[in-house]
Amino acid sequence: MENREIQNQVLVPIVIPSYEPDERLIALLHDLDAKEMGPVIIVNDGSSEEYDPIFREVESIITKRGGKYISYRPNRGKGRALKTAFSYISENMPDALGCVTADSDGQHTPECIDNIIENLKARPDNLILGVRQFEKKDIPWKSWFGNTLTIKVFSYVAGMKVNDTQSGLRGIPFRFMKELIDCKGERFEYEMQMLLECAGRYDLTEVPIQTIYESKENHQTHFKPIRDSFRIYKILGKKFLKFIFSSLSSFVVDIILFYLFVLLFKDAYPALYVTIATVSARVISAVYNYLINYKFVFKSKASRSTSLTKYALLAIIQMSLSAGIVSLIVFLIPNCWETLVKAIVDTILFLISYSVQQRFVFSSKSKT
């Protein structure tokens, strides 16, 4: 009983970024106040002056329970609003366990918010994600299609299965929240970047929540499908492009070193210089590739010795599969072009290798 009372006293502020809200925000805040939930931190993300009356009422509601109203102009985006709130909590609420972020459009009920808070208290080192149940018939088509497609792409790029990449209801541990203040992204893409930063570093706990829309026709969102989707996929693409750069630069290093080693050993070891040059260049380029992937691509916190062992094992398996599969295809199709076959096989293995490195080689946390 005593432990339960201590747990209830843990400080978990509720962060709500808001841009040109309606009465649903007022209703949510009254409900949170009635349930003695808070403190609530509202960030007015550059709403026009006509919304000032709503925000005056907002401020009067949240300050009763130690909340904070922050306002600025012009509009800077949801990501900037979240970072503004995170900075405030970091500086003024250092004893907080973390925070819970929620949207201002009525999609998140007090019960769902409280569920995220309780899960954060139970798992204070996990990112807690409120997951909506997506049924095409029940939600606007652009939300259903956008989330479904993004879930598939994110799963591959991040190496972590997330069932709702765009949910704004999240419980964030204090340490992770402080790290996110300097995370890239100013608008809706920031929440995707948050998930990418979580992958391989923090455990993820998904909590089912209600999916609430007034109607498919009347549901309003500040999410711009083309512009904001481009920003989201730009983030995902940038991560994969880093992996491509790492691989291509490793190839260049391998070729240059091979050339130099040939010059170095050709006269001294005329019968073995090609083998010596090949092995020496490949070992050095592999170490280079490992370090680039560890630090730059996956930003891993895993043990270097463990990840290096896994990386070496993967490299051996990948090389063996390439040789074996190409040899088998050439045997079965004698007149095929060996170089084309190898290019296709190695491309497929390259795509698989990315996923394996993300999920197993450089991952320092298991996902739940």
Nearest to 249 by CA among 202, 195, 295, 292: 292
In 10 A of CB 262, how many CB atoms? 15
pLDDT band at 234 (very low <50, low <70, confident <90, very high): confident
* pLDDT above 60: residue 156: yes
What is the average per-residue pLDDT within 123-138? 81
Could you tell me the CA-to-CA distances from 202 to 53, 199, 259, 284, 342 in Å, in that order? 40, 6, 43, 31, 37
pLDDT band at 317 (very low <50, low <70, confident <90, very high): very high
pLDDT band at 1 (very low <50, low <70, confident <90, very high): very low
Residue-level pLDDT at 231: 64
How many whole angstroms separate alpha carbon 32 and alpha carbon 43? 17
The verdict on 275 and 148 lying in the same domain is no
Report residue 179: phi and psi, to 5°: -65, -35
pLDDT band at 298 (very low <50, low <70, confident <90, very high): confident
The verdict on 128 and 192 lying in the same domain is yes
- Evaluate if pTM is beyond 0.75: no
The verdict on 86 and 218 lying in the same domain is yes
Residue-level pLDDT at 41: 97
pLDDT band at 368 (very low <50, low <70, confident <90, very high): very low
* Both tokens assigned to 306: 């463990």
The verdict on 263 and 125 lying in the same domain is no
Residue 233 lies in a domain: no
Q: What is the CA radius of gyration of the chain?
A: 26
How many whole angstroms separate alpha carbon 241 and alpha carbon 235? 10
Where would I find the H helices in 224-272? Answer: 225-265
Residue-level pLDDT at 212: 64
pLDDT band at 205 (very low <50, low <70, confident <90, very high): very high
Share of the chain above pLDDT 90, in %: 48
Residue 141 lies in a domain: yes
119 or 209, which is more confident? 119
What is the average per-residue pLDDT within 185-203? 85
The verdict on 268 and 176 lying in the same domain is no
In contact, 47 and 18? CB cutoff 8 Å = yes
Which residue range forms the structural domain that includes residue 179? 9-223
Residue-level pLDDT at 204: 92
Residue 176, domain CATH: 3.90.550.10
Which amino acid is present at 193? Answer: Q
141 or 103, which is more confident? 103
Per the listing, tokens 């009525």 go with: 106
The verdict on 268 and 211 lying in the same domain is no
The verdict on 199 and 298 lying in the same domain is no
- End-to-end Cα separation, the chain, in angstroms: 28
pLDDT band at 297 (very low <50, low <70, confident <90, very high): confident
Residue 230 lies in a domain: no
Which residue spans within the chain are E strands per DSSP? 14-18, 40-45, 68-72, 98-101, 127-132, 170-173, 204-209
* pLDDT above 70: residue 126: yes
365 or 3, which is more confident? 365
Residue-level pLDDT at 364: 67
* pLDDT above 90: residue 144: no
Nearest to 47 by CA among 82, 76, 69, 68: 76
* pLDDT above 70: residue 190: yes
pLDDT band at 112 (very low <50, low <70, confident <90, very high): very high
Residue 121 lies in a domain: yes
The verdict on 174 and 281 lying in the same domain is no
The verdict on 180 and 41 lying in the same domain is yes
Residue 146 lies in a domain: yes
The verdict on 56 and 103 lying in the same domain is yes
353 or 199, which is more confident? 353
Residue-level pLDDT at 124: 95
The verdict on 201 and 256 lying in the same domain is no
**pLDDT tens for residues 48-106?**
999 999 999 999 999 988 999 999 999 999 999 999 999 999 999 999 999 999 998 88
Looking at the 3D structure of the chain, how many domains does it have?
2
What is the average per-residue pLDDT within 319-332? 88
125 or 132, which is more confident? 125
Residue-level pLDDT at 237: 76
Residue 206 lies in a domain: yes
**pLDDT tens for residues 14-52?**
999 999 999 999 999 999 999 999 899 999 999 999 999
| Of 86-100, 181-195, 259-273, 352-366, the least confident | 352-366
Residue-level pLDDT at 360: 85
How many whole angstroms separate alpha carbon 247 and alpha carbon 318? 14
What is the maximum span of the chain, computed from C-alpha positions, in angstroms? 86
How many whole angstroms separate alpha carbon 228 and alpha carbon 232? 6
Residue-level pLDDT at 139: 61
The verdict on 207 and 257 lying in the same domain is no
